[in-house]
A and B are shown apart, each in its own frame.
Chain A
Amino acid sequence: AQTVTQSQPEMSVQEAETVTLSCTYDTSESDYYLFWYKQPPSRQMILVIRQEAYKQQNATENRFSVNFQKAAKSFSLKISDSQLGDAAMYFCAYSGVNSGYALNFGKGTSLLVTP
């Protein structure tokens, strides 16, 4: 079974600074997708960014980018120019054929943004 590990329960960043959230995963599949979801205090799950394992180029979405290291099975999220609205729980997730493409989530990292 695939496992997703987020080793940072909490992180803190100052407004306008950059922060990196870590995620590692374990799988025997060759093709899969990785995701970062954001869960603000409202509890709504919001997709931040996704990466296909076959694509070597790291995904970017505005201020959000990933560092995907397939051999190391690492998938970190970088948030640039952090804003107060970025404060939330961030979940790393894996999706592959062996799990019916259901999302397998890590435990999450709580991000605090300070003024």
Chain B
Amino acid sequence: DSGVTQTPKHLITATGQRVTLRCSPRSGDLSVYWYQQSLDQGLQFLIQYYNGEERAKGNILERFSAQQFPDLHSELNLSSLELGDSALYFCASSVEVAAYNEQFFGPGTRLTVL
């Protein structure tokens, strides 16, 4: 158990819908990263937050957005869902924003878009 929690574990929805994925980082971790794992794209970085502020963006679509709240939990919002958005979405947390800080991964949320 990494200490990072993600809810829900599984999500099944239809095209065009909007969903919210939630992540609670390890106690004391200020940085949250979101990653998407799909068969087509592999594992790719979406977006990063540090202490409530956006710090870096990766290959995140305009239909996707995220935020980190004062209690440091983070939410990833996916809208106008398409079949290709079906993937495993990971949240990871670390103490700070630095390469030497290990990122601890949550168990992921499996999103299926029908």
Contacts and interface: CB of A to CB of B under 8 A. Distances in A.
Interface of A: 31-33, 42-47, 50, 52, 91, 95-97, 99-108
Given A33-B99, A43-B107, A44-B107, A104 B45 contact: yes
B97 interface: yes
Given A33-B100, A100-B48, 16 more contacts: A31-B99, A42-B107, A43-B88, A43-B107, A43-B108, A52-B99, A91-B43, A99-B45, A100-B56, A100-B97, A102-B48, A103-B33, A103-B92, A105-B42, A105-B43, A105-B44
Contacts of A95: 99
B68 to A, nearest CB: 14
A44 to B, nearest CB: 6
* Size range of the chain B interface in the assembly: 20 to 34
Contacts, number: 58
16 contacts: A32-B99, A43-B108, A46-B105, A47-B102, A47-B103, A50-B102, A99-B45, A99-B56, A100-B56, A101-B48, A101-B56, A101-B97, A103-B43, A104-B45, A105-B44, A106-B42
A105 to B, nearest CB: 4
Nearest to B100: A33
B107 A102 contact: no
B12 interface: no
Q: List 5 tightest A-B contacts by C-beta distance, closest first.
A: A100-B56, A45-B105, A33-B99, A105-B43, A102-B45
Contacts of B48: 100-102
Nearest to B88: A43
B55 interface: yes
B8 interface: no
A101 B100 CA distance: 9
